Amino acid sequence: QAPLVESGGGSVQAGGSLRLSCSAPEYIYRHTCISWFRQYPGKEREGVASIYSEGLTYYVDSVKGRFSVSHDDAKNTVYLQMNSLKPEDSAQYYCAANSDGLCSKIGESGVAAYYIYWGRGTQVTVSS
């Protein structure tokens, strides 16, 4: 059973917005880093954005200025606000947590392998 639960995915036209939510149990939420990944069919999961428990955030270049990650400690929830969506943003989006402080490495290939806890994902589809 996946301990993290994503929600908020859906279908939207290019230029539109979606907000994804990642709900985590307390013992996971307090981990150092919670990140968002996305996966295209037949491809490896790639990092999108991450946030440390103290609020420091990181983004991959392809989403900078369009996506914003935040958290609500009262709800043990991390959000990914996605604006100005493009068809190439269409993917399955996952949130994941790790305790090794890997947030700053979100853009590195293969970093997903170091994450301990995952959700089942939520689908985002952007039409042109």
Tell me what pLDDT residue 19 has. Answer: 98
Tell me what pLDDT residue 31 has. Answer: 74
Query: How confident is the prediction along the chain (128 residues), in pLDDT tens digits per residue?
Result: 789 999 999 999 999 999 999 999 999 998 789 999 999 999 999 999 999 988 999 999 999 999 999 999 999 999 999 999 999 999 999 999 998 778 999 999 999 999 999 999 999 999 99
Tell me what pLDDT residue 90 has. Answer: 98
SS3 annotation, the chain: CCCEEEECCEEEECCCCEEEEEECCHHHHCCCEEEEEEECCCCCCEEEEEEECCCCEEECHHHCCCEEEEEECCCCEEEEEECCCCHHHCEEEEEEEECCCCHHHCCCCCHHHHCCEEECCEEEEEEC
Tell me what pLDDT residue 2 has. Answer: 86
Tell me what pLDDT residue 109 has. Answer: 93
